[in-house]
Structure 1
């Protein structure tokens, strides 16, 4: 069964900001949470659905991938699919899990802790690469070497950003938590507000002696050559995911992924629909009337085909197995050939006489137009 659009699931527009998404999620999560609807399978499935939608739309990287590739960008590995390798199965927490996710930054980690999320390993950025290939390459596959620019861990400091022989230090401003907490007494009691530490920018550690090679960033931009295998049967708009070929993660997190978006150049003869090929072949009036053996171009080269006597213009015949290989099974589609009978534009007087005789034999009455309209006008102006 196809999944619902994540924005539709949460009841928000595609232009919704983080605040609107959190608000919509909290409202629905409170309504359908299993703790509130014990034994209600429908509510449980609904909660899974809104939780999955929120997990994607609340994460900037996942949301970009979803906006770009749809469910294929976040549903798991494999050809033509994106994916972040994160499922949504397992048990459910209590209501505090909802508040911890949505309001953790407001209450300073009181319901699960925004600090833990800030300092937790984070997956690296994904990269998109646009590959333009020929029609035949899409049909039969091709190996291609591509070059991508991406961030890599600094080889000098090992990605720490600190000068060799030194190390990162705990931030003295936030004590390593990555956030600054302020407390305020209200009529509801003491409220805690947490903001990202301005000194370490939420990292919890700082570099006192930065690495000279990366200037303390821990990363340098490099050009990387990657061999990709484009499988037979891809079509225009297909996307290939290469797991772990994106940029490195933060704090020990996994690398991002590389998405190769395929665009296929049009062919001068063939048109493609799914795994079938379509081609219009011109033949003469004589060939159509008397029949003939003609050569038909295919992706595999020319093949001979017997045109039956009396073939009409617009007739379509099929060449079985001459289409594009199926992406998963390898079984090939068919080629459909449409016959187009060409009418000669200029005839000699002898050829015209032959056609007149032919018309008489068939009992056909022919009214020839000797002169065109403009020729007749010219004659009157002389």
Structure 2
């Protein structure tokens, strides 16, 4: 099996930090994503390679296995078991498979029987089963996309799959869909699909956990005299009554008008509105006269 350099695929050094690997993966995933490169087989191939590399290097345990065993990292447990029983033979080669395994006589009967070489009498006719490779992908959504539960079609390794995205999915959240990874070996189970959500907020609301925050601009006269106004919420408009003498920075809480709570049907956070009073900067001569009269009355 040819050695695959996952570090080279993501264009990072072997000493790269988790943050550097994540940044490199996101950059390349966006560049080669099938939605941005329709009917481009080469981009599709690159996208698969990038996801495979990220699956290994973004998980500390997988990365550790890969650094030691290279292409055979998924079978690290069997190698470790063999070492413990003294069945591992280097044959003058490198200790790490990551240095470039090329086959030959470096494996004992234990390895050869397990991975397709000669078999012993007891092991002939049966092969070890291994779970297929797990796949990872990143799905980019807008905040408005995850306000309600909806379905979306994804293209994974050339196959279209229909998934349900629950309302309230958070940025960076990862979900697992069992059985949508690679094929198992020797009849083993399929791997799983891990989807990481990248949620961007292009709205006028700030999201903190399940609560939303926004600013309402009030004219001076409504703040002083009070009145009815219309305010935006995430899913529509509401009518609010402003009390006379409302001060700048006053906060209003709208219960249940925040963001949906993940997998808790009908449960929402709250919406907090902050009043910001706008002082007029251009006054007519008549307005100046009236404000002068008001000032005189206040000071009399």
- TM-score range normalised by the length of the shorter chain: 0.5 to 0.7
Deviations 1:78-98 (A, max 9, x none): xxxxxxxxxx9xxxxxxx958
1:306 aligns with 2:241: yes
The structure-2 alpha-carbon separation of the partners of 1:128 and 1:62, relative to structure 1 and needing over 3 Å to count, comes to closer
Matched-pair contact (CA < 8 Å) for 2:52–2:135: no
Structure-2 separation of matches of 1:284 and 1:101: 81
Matched-pair contact (CA < 8 Å) for 1:296–1:304: yes
Deviations 1:164-222 (A, max 9, x none): xxxxxxxxxxxxxxxxxxxxxxxxxxxxxxxxxxxxxxxxxxxxxxxxxxxxxxxxxxx
Matched residue, 1:140:
148
Structure-2 separation of matches of 1:306 and 1:288: 11
Structure-2 separation of matches of 1:230 and 1:285: 44
From the CA coordinates, give the structure whose radius of gyration is larger: 1
1:100 aligns with 2:90: no
Deviations 1:12-34 (A, max 9, x none): xx949xxxxxxxxxxxxxxxxxx
Matched residue, 2:5:
none
Matched residue, 1:118:
115
Matched residue, 2:96:
none
Question: Given the two structures, how large is their TM-score scaled by the length of structure 2?
Answer: 0.61
Q: Quick one: which of 164, 187, 190 aligns to 1:229?
A: 164
Matched-pair contact (CA < 8 Å) for 1:100–1:109: no
How far does residue 272 in structure 1 lie from its aligned partner after superposition? 0.7
Secondary structure at the counterpart of residue 350 of structure 1:
helix
1:68 aligns with 2:58: yes
Q: Quick one: which of 291, 302, 325 aligns to 2:260?
A: 325
The structure-2 alpha-carbon separation of the partners of 1:145 and 1:126, relative to structure 1 and needing over 3 Å to count, comes to same
Which consecutive unaligned segments of at least 5 residues does structure 1 have? 1-13, 17-60, 72-87, 89-95, 151-222, 365-382
How far does residue 103 in structure 1 lie from its aligned partner after superposition? 6.5
Matched-pair contact (CA < 8 Å) for 1:291–1:310: yes
How far does residue 335 in structure 1 lie from its aligned partner after superposition? 0.5
Secondary structure at the counterpart of residue 140 of structure 1:
coil
1:345 aligns with 2:276: no
* Count of residue pairs the alignment pairs up: 209
Deviations 1:325-374 (A, max 9, x none): 2113332110111111111221111111111111222229xxxxxxxxxx
Deviations 1:116-147 (A, max 9, x none): 55353333233223222232221222210112
Structure-2 separation of matches of 1:360 and 1:143: 64
How far does residue 249 in structure 1 lie from its aligned partner after superposition? 2.3
Name the structure with the higher helix share. Answer: 2
Structure-1 separation of matches of 2:263 and 2:172: 17
Which consecutive unaligned segments of at least 5 residues does structure 2 have? 1-13, 17-50, 62-76, 92-106, 117-127
Matched residue, 2:294:
358
Structure-1 separation of matches of 2:281 and 2:86: 75
Secondary structure at the counterpart of residue 357 of structure 1:
helix
Question: Given the two structures, how large is their TM-score scaled by the length of structure 1?
Answer: 0.48
Matched-pair contact (CA < 8 Å) for 1:105–1:114: no
